[in-house]
Amino acid sequence: MALCITAPRVVTAGQVIEPGFVLVNDGLVEQVGTGSPPDADVVLPHGILTPGLIDLQLNGAFGVDLVDATPDQWVDVVRQLVRTGCTAFTPTFITAPVDALVAALTRYREVRPRLDALDRAARTLGVHVEGPFLSTKRRGAHREEYLCDPTPERVERLIDAGTGGTLAYVTLAPEREAAPKAITRLREKGVRVSLGHSDATEDVVRAAVDAGASLITHLFNAQRPFSHRDPGVVGAALTDERLTAGLIADLHHTDPTAVKLAFAAAGDRIALVTDSVAAMGMPAGSYVLGGDRLHVEPGGPPLREDGTIGGSALRLDEAVGNAVACGVDLAVAVDAATRVPADALGHTHLGRLTAGAAADLVWLSDDFRTLGTWVAGTLAYTDPDAPPTRRFPR
């Protein structure tokens, strides 16, 4: 079924078309163009039409910590995420004993066919395991007693549990014993590697990239900072063209100046992520991340009892708006939440409005709140308070 949607602004291929339209056919983008066809099926009276947003790091949302989620909770989360403009994501499991991570990967592998069969729901792109191969010096909210080296036996257990695309990528600290061999082995098995929670020097980071690492987990946070004589993880991330760096633009993890700096240095390699926990989409209160209790005050980030930030309550549409408010160009900010994360995981059919791509689209308000979401050309969400359009087929 063909569907033509017009909007005052359409963001595609790193540019903004004003006005523009997207023609969808059989779940795919058929055409993107300038103007407002008079016979359009859907006329968006204001706002921005973008590709579906893609989150590379989501621990939980809507009261659910995904590592322990039941099948019904998984369904609830992927159904609700489209309200935030997120049409695809990598569930994130943080540091735990390897046995627990294997069990969590197995549960996800078993529920994934049910999730894949859903319509009007966000796609899952395989799991991101963040740890347990992290630095004790830069552990952040991760439990120190579970941190360990990526020995061949531990790595193989995660690989075995992550078969069939279950395991998308692993975050590790490249300075840990056996890390170079672990990176090589993970890449051999099709698992991507991200560098994070690390006190590594620039040279160690670049050696890890030579071995196959291709991502950086939450730039600036829980990693060796930049110094003019010791560039560290940050320096390597901002200057090595082989790396895609996740960035939590909630303005708690990163100051606006840090956001501007990251985009100025590596704008086409920055992927906006939420690192959200169960508190996302929920009121202030108490939530769980990896077995630890977090407390969220109104407008503040989730905090452990010791005051350490533990993830965020950020929505990905909000992250785009925050980046723009920091001075990032609109097309670049949208790219950072769509094409860049899709490409980082090899999903080149997602995160773009080009002919042949999946017709995942988001209608954002002028203040970057999701008003409508389509997944594979099917309307998955509309804001009940959104102004009427000419026709909004369901």
Domain ranges of the chain: 2-49+355-382, 53-344
pLDDT digits (tens, 9 = 90+) for 41-72: 999 999 999 999 999 999 999 999 999 999 99
Is 366 tagged catalytic? Answer: no
Does domain 53-344 fall into CATH 3.40.640.10? Answer: no
Does 263 have pLDDT greater than 70?
yes
Once rounded to an integer, what is the mean pLDDT over residues 137-142? 94
CA distance 341 to 350: 9
Q: What is the pTM of this model?
A: 0.97
pLDDT of residue 313: 97
- Which has more confidence, 319 or 308? 319
pLDDT of residue 393: 53
Cβ atoms 94, 289 nearer than 8 A: yes
CA distance 100 to 108: 12
Strands 15-17 and 9-12 come out as antiparallel
CA distance 90 to 53: 12
Q: Do 53-344 and 2-49+355-382 fall under one CATH topology? A: no
**What is the token pair recorded at 64?**
């659910």
**What is the token pair recorded at 198?**
């690390």
Mean pLDDT of the chain: 96
pLDDT digits (tens, 9 = 90+) for 186-211: 999 999 999 999 999 999 999 999 99
**Residue of 41, 275, 317, 343 marked catalytic:** 275
> What pLDDT band is residue 290 in, cutting at 50, 70 and 90?
confident
Does domain 2-49+355-382 fall into CATH 2.30.40.10? Answer: yes
Angle of helix 71-81 relative to helix 98-116, nearest 10 degrees, comes to: 60
